[in-house]
Structure 1
Amino acid sequence: MRRRLLAAGAALLATSTSAFSARVLDEAPITIDGQPRRYYHLHDTEAASKATPILLISGSGCKDFGSRVPFFFERYPAPVDVYFLEKTGINKGDNSETCSVAYNSMDYLERRVSDNLAFIDSLPALKALPARSLAVLGFSEGGTVAPLVALRSPKIGWLATGGSGGLPQSEGFLIFADRGVAPYANPLSRALFLKTFAAIKADPDSLEKEFMGHAYLYWSSHLFYDPLPTYRQLDIPITAAMGEKDESEAIESGRALRDDFAKHPDKDFTFIEYPNASHTLQAPDQPHLQDYVASLAAWFKRQRPAPR
């Protein structure tokens, strides 16, 4: 039976909905490729037809993420209509300290992409959407998954990312090592990374061998993937945000994405670099994450995708 949870921090939306509108989070089961899953739907009880539907894609790890979805939209100034598919093998309340066997066996890039594409094609509310009417928002690892979903689904009309750039992850790790950023430079090192990269390439499907908390299967799908060719094929509005002091994704990766799009001024692309901010867009004097998400409401209205 569908559970309805009052979203944390939900507020009355006096300007965009009726005085009695509330923001709620629904949880429901769904089967994707024969695997029982659950998904979440954050929405307002009124004015749902005025909302731009958003597919949210989370970052790495096996922590239960669904209940955290409302946090990202606490400052969103318009009606919300957000869908999130939880990963395989994650149970309610999981804290990511120990990931399940089921999770590890499905934790690789192509699987995350195909799962979200199947989610779009399976859930009646998303399947019924016309072309270019669904936005995809990906954070961290989700920012790598989201462009691939946008490229392969005609439903996607906008792409927004946070904490993700345009370089292969392996290059980002080497940049951190060369820059002296812990733990990439100490206790790890460029020499250790290069040795491990070769080992992963030699045994790319291994679930038994691990590095930095993930199996080789995971790393082989992420480390060497170059996102720029995917971005170059997109013809929809794109916005990407990163923190200058991002400790998980080198800011050089975001700047590489920015510089590549600068060569193509015909593309609808915006890059936002928050000074002194972290991977979560948190600066010492100001949190930017919720404000960035809130800014998307106006961006959707202003940057209308061309018909496909």
Structure 2
Amino acid sequence: MLAPMTLRHSLCVAALSAGAALLATSAFAARVLDEATIQIDGQARRYYHLHNAGDSGRATPIVLLSGSGCKDFGSRVQFFFERYPSPVDVYFLEKIGIQKGADGQACSEAYNQADTLERRVNDTLAFIGQEPALKALGTRSLAILGFSEGGTVAPLVASRSPKIGWLATGGSGGLPQSEVFLIFADRGVEPYAKPFSREIFLKTYAAIKADPQSLDKEFFGHPYRYWNSHLFYDPLTTYAKLDIPIIAAMGEKDDSEAIESGRALRDYFARHPEKNFTFIEYPNAGHALQAPDKANLQDFIGGLAKWFKGESSQFIQAQ
């Protein structure tokens, strides 16, 4: 049996340990998603800020860019950062014309009018330059994280904003989208090879170039206006200008962005070892980095906290 003082001491230690655990849990539970509005080009825009209540200045601030489509994304930001260690400091600007709770089935006229690559880049730059906390940041103190289409927007923003110090992308590569569709068609991947084909794609590309601002004519669920801004843009021309740490993650079985596009990035930077570049190819994973036996997306995002500090070993081991 423990002596009274020893017992009392043990109980105190146990209580302190429990209290520390509770505080740690409470700190994580204090993670909140604030919603606010900001004026960009005379329009009120909705944005979100994911952070730990009462905590500021310790986390690397991140601007998050979502993929294509008009589905409400802002309310789901917390899900993607569930495995990101606290503290967290994430900003997300919702696209024009997306209502809260929108399921993405029918995009508004305002959304389609504004849905171009150039507009997304300019809106993001304006957001960084006007949102009070982001505006106050110094050179190379902000990270930008883009998924799918957002992974095409992010390098352009990084090339034009001196505040960006890190670039991370998922499900996005280094080839023009027009080439990616042809790769899928040649590989026999549906629907690019069936019901579509290389011949159909080439004819459609010509039609888009002939009527680049059309909102009435559509292809793959987007107006020609959208495709004209995305299809023929070559991401490598932008990546070549960057001299900041870059990390790109793709799934080997991605059926939206061909893995050849990610490997083009890998091969380009292999020829430029002076650049700080990391490429992750998740085996058997799809566009959302999801493999049959493992969900890699949240792990990838969670690992960025260490990567910002120069540690990338966890990504090398994950491949």
Pair in the same fold by TM > 0.5: yes
Which residue among 83, 94, 100 is the counterpart of 1:92?
100
Conserved? CA contact 2:63–2:90, under 8 Å: yes
DSSP-derived class of the 1:25 partner:
strand
Q: Look at both structures and tell me which one has the larger radius of gyration over its CA atoms.
A: 2
Say yes or no: does 1:66 pair with 2:65: no
* Cα distance, 1:16 vs structure 2: 7.6
Distance 1:232 1:179, change over 3 A: same
The 3 A distance-change label for structure 1 pair 257 and 173 is same
Could you tell me how far 1:101 is from its partner in structure 2? Answer: 0.2
User: In 2 relative to 1, CA 14–168 (structure 1 residues): closer, same or farther, beyond 3 Å?
Assistant: farther
Note if 1:150 corresponds to 2:158.
yes
How far apart are 1:165 and its partner, in Å?
Answer: 0.1
Q: CA deviation at 1:207?
A: 0.9
> What residue in structure 2 maps to residue 276 of structure 1?
284
**Residues 250 and 259, structure 2, Cα contact 8 Å, conserved in 1:** yes
Q: 2:200 aligns with which of 173, 192, 200?
A: 192
Under a length normalisation based on structure 1, what TM-score does the superposition of the two structures give?
Answer: 0.92
- The answer for the alignment partner of 1:31 in structure 2 is 39
SS in 1 for 2:78: helix
The yes-or-no answer on 1:210 pairing with 2:218 is: yes
CA–CA separation in structure 2 for the residues paired with 1:87 and 1:77:
27
SS in 2 for 1:132: coil
Identity among equivalent pairs (%): 74
How many Å separate the matches in 2 of 1:301 and 1:162?
Answer: 19
Instruction: Give the Cα–Cα distance (whole angstroms) in 2 for the partners of residues 298 and 91 of structure 1.
Output: 35
Contact 2:283 2:291 in 1 (8 A): yes
Secondary structure (helix, strand or coil) at the match of 1:82 reads: strand
Instruction: State how 1:128-167 maps to structure 2 within 5 Å.
Output: 128-167=136-175
Show CA shifts across 1:253-275 (max 9, x none). Answer: 00000000000000000000000
Q: Distance in 1 between matches of 2:22 and 2:243?
A: 35
TM score, norm. by length of structure 2: 0.89
What is the one-letter code of the residue matched to 1:109? Answer: L
Counterpart CA distance in 1 for 2:310 and 2:28 is 28
The 1:302/1:78 distance shift into structure 2, 3 A limit, reads farther
Task: Note the aligned Cα RMSD (angstroms).
Answer: 1.8
Gaps of 5+ in 1: 1-11
Aligned length: 293
Deviations 1:106-142 (A, max 9, x none): 0000000000000001111100000100000000000
**CA distance 1:235–1:303, shift in 2 (3 Å):** farther
Q: How many angstroms does 1:38 deviate by? A: 0.3
Change (3 A) 1:14 1:281: farther
User: Which segments of 5 or more consecutive residues in structure 2 lack a partner in the other structure?
Assistant: 1-19, 313-319
Structure 2 counterpart of 1:44, which letter? N
* 1:158/1:300 contact within 8 Å kept: yes
Given that 2:251 and 2:281 are in contact with CA atoms closer than 8 Å, whether structure 1 keeps it comes out as: yes
AA in 2 matched with 1:124: P
Listed as ranges, the matches of 1:209-248 within 5 Å are: 209-248=217-256
Does the CA contact (< 8 Å) of 1:147 and 1:159 recur in 2?
A: yes
Deviation of the 1:247 alpha carbon: 0.7
Corresponding residue for residue 285 of structure 1? 293
Contact 2:52 2:86 in 1 (8 A): no
Specify the code of the residue in structure 2 equivalent to 1:168. P
